[in-house]
Structure formats: structure tokens, C-alpha cells
Chains A and B, each alone.
Chain A
Amino acid sequence: MLTLTSLRETPLHRLPAGWKLAALAAASLWLFTLQSGAALGVTICATGAVYLWLGRDIAARGIALLRPLWPFLAVLGLWHLWIGDMAAGIFLAGRMLCAVALANLVTMTTQLEALIAVLTRLLAPTARIGLQPQVLALSVALVIRFTPVLMDKTAQLMQAWRARGGGRANWRIVLPVALIALDDADHVADALRARGGIVPQNGLRPE
């Protein structure tokens, strides 16, 4: 399945995922505590500089990823135009765009496998209360595998709907899609059991 990670390897790709996440947390905290416009301006310029340093393709992709935010920019603009405090509106908009851009930077330059590894490591202590890391890994793999499968089956249902002259599919398509999800879940559970099932680890950390 498609991920948002950039396929072209950049220097940021080679940094450990844990470091990037820690840096992102620190940067986000900094963004939401800073008060002065000058500090925000410097942070925004630094973020832009990192994007440009990584290459024009990454910068273009970064801008495309910010596009869903435009309704909120419009709302902020109108709001602050109305109360007559445009400076505050620009500050809030800049802070939001910069925070999202920094987070997207980590997403674009970190492989899914590396992030899953960080998640598994963070959740390792929960093995003591019964949550098993290998169950998490299996669940993640199942969702990644079955989202496109369920998507294809939904597309087929919608085509069949149109072929029968039903026009554009509406909410009634959801019931058969949910039914497919339930039946697939039953089949996969049977298949897993037939292959020996998920072996309980009794709270021990598997190596």
C-alpha cells in the first residue's frame, strides 16, 4: 500500500527514527510555547530551509501535504479580519503550518518499518500486563494487507450497484462492506488457527 514516505533517500532518512521523533516532540513543544513573532519567523525559515536542503521534490511534496489545511487558514483569515487583529491571525496560521510541516517532514523521511520498530519498543513494557508485541505486529500487518483487499471488494460492490442501474452508490453500500469485513475476519481467524494460531507468551517478552 501507498505510504507517505519519500522513496528517494535523503540524509534525514538515515537518522534513527527515535531521534527524529524526539526532535519533533521538542520542536512542537517549542512552537506551542513561543510567544514572539520573531521566534516563530525564525522557526518557519529554518523549517523551510531544511525542506529546500533536502531537495525540490521534497519541498513540493511538503507544500502539497499542507493543502488540506486551507479551509482553516480561510477561517482564521476571516475571523481576524473581522475582529481587526490580523497580526494574531498570521501568528496562529504560521504556527499551525510550521508544526504540521515539521511533523510531515518526519513522516516523509522515515520508513514505516522503522516507525513500527519504535512503537514495538515503546510498548514492550506492556508485555507485563498481557499485551503481546507480536500480536501488535500481526495486527498492523493484517490492516496493511486487508485495507486494499477490502477497498477492491468495495469497488466491485459499487460497480455491481451501478451495473444494476442503482446510480451512484449511497450509504446502503456500507452494510455489505461491513459484512465482508466480518466474514473476512472469520476466515482469517480460521486460517490463523489452522496454522497453529497465536501462541500465548504468558507475559514473557519474546526474543
Chain B
Amino acid sequence: MEKNVTYIALFAALIAVLGLVPQITLATGVPITAQSLGVMLCGTVLGARRGALAVLLFVALVALGLPLLSGGRGGLGVFASPTVGFVLGFPVAAFVTGWIVEKWRGQIGLVASVAAFVGGVLVLYAFGITGMAIVLGKSWPAASVLVAAYIPGDLIKTVLAGLITQGLARLRPHAVLSRA
């Protein structure tokens, strides 16, 4: 019980910290933050249920007014802005990612990468694009054009999520709860 609570809370803090560390600029010139990498790691390391709860806790704290989103954004205004779909999709993305890692018992690094792609890119963008389409009053294909610039960065993050999960599984096998 105590371990569940502290893992969920510390990973919620991890998502916040990864959003606040300086941005990395890709070769394409688009700046990315590691925040969505944090969401992927919640799924790959903590598994479906705990991972989704950690992200849900993070989203709840953003709603309560803590400036934890990348760029120091936070508060209820986030839920009226065009990026609302991404924020609401975060917990679902972590759940799907964690679910795949739990069910597919292959080599952890590879499985984590694929899971992060399905949850952290496919599922997350479905939510994100829908939210943007609603707030900006655009069609779904038009909204998807607007976020296309961010997809290369997120594809890189799925590979990183695999490598980092593999590293954690080697260093702290007991702590990778998705495989415990």
C-alpha cells in the first residue's frame, strides 16, 4: 500500500520535473520537452493501473493550479486551451502503454518502445487532435496538420522510453512494477 502510493506520487513528480528541465531542440528545429516521455515512463515502469493513477494525479494537480506543465503552465485555463486534448489524453496514454507492457512479455526495451508508441503517440494524438479540432473549430484532418511538427520528436521519445525502461529494469528489477 505505502509503496503503491509513493511510487504513484514520485512518478507524478517525475512528469513535472521532466516538463521543467530545459527543452531539447530537434534537428528539425522544433523544441520538445521530456514531459510526454514522463507519461510514457509511467506506463512502461509502473504498469497500466498505477501508471494511469500517477498521470491522473499529475493532471489533477495541474487543474488545481500548480504550474507543472511544460513552460510553467497550469490551472483551469489549460482545460479551455487548444492543448486540452493532450492533457486529458495523458492518463489514457499511460494506461494503454502500461497495459501492453504487462501483457506482452517480450524483451523489455523493445516492448516498452512499441507500447510507448501505441499509447504515447497513437492514443495521445487521437485525444490531442480531437481537443484541438474542438477548441479551434477546425476539422480533424486540419487539426492533425497543426500537430504534425511534433510527431518526429515524440517518435524519438518512444525509442528513449524503451532504452530508459530497459536501463531501469537492469538497475532496479524489483522497481519495474509493470513486470513485477
- Interface of A with B (CB < 8 Å)? 1-5, 24, 28, 65, 68-69, 72, 75-76, 79, 88, 92, 96, 99-104, 106-108, 110, 112, 115-116, 119, 135, 138-140, 142-144, 146-147, 149-151, 154, 158, 168-171, 173-175, 177-179, 181-186, 188-190, 192-193, 197-198, 200
Contacts and interface: CB of A to CB of B under 8 A. Distances in A.
Contacts of B67: 2-4
A188 B2 CA distance: 8
A29 to B, nearest CB: 11
B135 A96 contact: yes
A112 B34 contact: no
B124 interface: no
Interface stretch (B18-26, B88-96, B101-109, B112-120): B18-26
A174 B14 CA distance: 10
21 contacts: A3-B65, A3-B67, A65-B77, A68-B81, A96-B80, A96-B81, A100-B81, A103-B78, A106-B76, A142-B13, A143-B16, A150-B13, A151-B16, A154-B17, A171-B24, A171-B37, A178-B14, A178-B41, A178-B168, A182-B168, A185-B7
Contacts of B126: none
A140 B26 CA distance: 34
Contacts of A92: 136-137
Interface in B143-180: 146, 160, 163-164, 167-168, 171-172, 175
Interface of B: 1-3, 5-14, 16-18, 20-22, 24, 34, 37, 41, 45, 57-58, 60-61, 64-68, 71, 73-82, 135-138, 142, 146, 160, 163-164, 167-168, 171-172, 175
A42 B8 CA distance: 44
Contact of B6 (A79, A174, A192): A192
A174 B79 contact: no
CB-based closest 8 A-B pairs: A107-B75, A142-B9, A103-B76, A99-B80, A185-B10, A104-B77, A103-B77, A100-B77
A88 B137 CA distance: 9
Contact of B146 (A28, A75, A101): A75
Contact of B17 (A110, A177, A183, A192): A177
Contacts of A185: 3, 6-7, 9-11, 175
Contacts of B13: 142-143, 146-147, 149-150, 181
Contacts of A3: 65-67
**Interface of A, helix, strand, loop or mixed by DSSP:** helix
Contact of B172 (A75, A104, A171, A179): A179
Nearest to B58: A143
Query: Which of A68, A76, A183, A197 has the most CB atoms of chain B within a 10 A radius of its CB?
Result: A68
B65 A138 contact: no
A189 B61 contact: no
Contacts of B24: 170-171
A88 to B, nearest CB: 7
